[in-house]
Chain A
Amino acid sequence: AQKITQTQPGMFVQEKEAVTLDCTYDTSDQSYGLFWYKQPSSGEMIFLIYQGSYDEQNATEGRYSLNFQKARKSANLVISASQLGDSAMYFCAMRERPVSGNTPLVFGKGTRLSVIA
């Protein structure tokens, strides 16, 4: 079974609108971390936001917020006020217990976001 599922291969959004990228995860661990990365056409992986499983509040970083619904095992990324520069591939990833530096991330297959002017 896939650990990270991103059901939207591609999404379109109008500039200045908000968009939600879906991510569901599968784990039996109580302690885990959830990540979102952006990959523009230039190819580099850019860290956007992190949510720990014990964090009570949803993580926010500027225009990015993570809608964390633990019971549903979902960690959707919300981008507010989309910009043309947000057009990229977006990956959801999870780090399972122990939540320390040495556990590898497991990635979803990604969602390609296109922002339309």
Chain B
Amino acid sequence: NAGVTQTPKFQVLKTGQSMTLQCAQDMNHNSMYWYRQDPGMGLRLIYYSASEGTTDKGEVPNGYNVSRLNKREFSLRLESAAPSQTSVYFCASTGAYYNEQFFGPGTRLTVL
């Protein structure tokens, strides 16, 4: 039981490059989330998926797209990376009745 896994752990991109951050959970959770963490800003919601087949924008969705591939997987795509997207990205998931949101280990992304 791995919980929430994210790949890659680290990534360096050049401005304008694209990439996809992968997230998977093995807890049969309905809801999944993508957050970004910047110094002094806490965690801010980018997108979330309340259930398989649905996605919704969060507080800071510009420059990102998401795909809920199936119940287990929720990916985050940067189509044209910008230096402002340098951040640590966390994926998380929650079951229907749980009072805890489980987090992945994070992806540290640097855009040059």
Give the B-binding residues of A (Cβ under 8 A).
Answer: 4, 9, 33, 35, 37, 43-45, 47, 50, 52, 91, 93, 100-102, 104-110
Contacts and interface: CB of A to CB of B under 8 A. Distances in A.
Contacts of A47: 100-102
Given A101-B31, A104-B48, A107-B42, A44 B105 contact: yes
B105 A43 contact: yes
17 contacts: A9-B40, A35-B100, A43-B108, A45-B106, A52-B99, A91-B43, A93-B43, A100-B96, A101-B29, A101-B30, A101-B94, A101-B96, A101-B97, A102-B51, A102-B96, A104-B33, A105-B43
B44 interface: yes
B29 to A, nearest CB: 7
A110 B39 CA distance: 10
B31 A102 contact: yes
A45 B42 contact: no
A50 B99 contact: yes
Interface residues of B, number: 31
B109 interface: no
Given A43-B88, A107-B44, A109-B41, A102 B106 contact: no
Contacts of B98: 101
Given A101-B94, A102-B50, A91 B99 contact: no
B58 interface: yes
A52 B98 CA distance: 12
Given A4-B42, A9-B40, A109-B40, 8 more contacts: A35-B101, A43-B108, A44-B105, A100-B96, A101-B30, A104-B45, A106-B45, A108-B42
B54 to A, nearest CB: 9
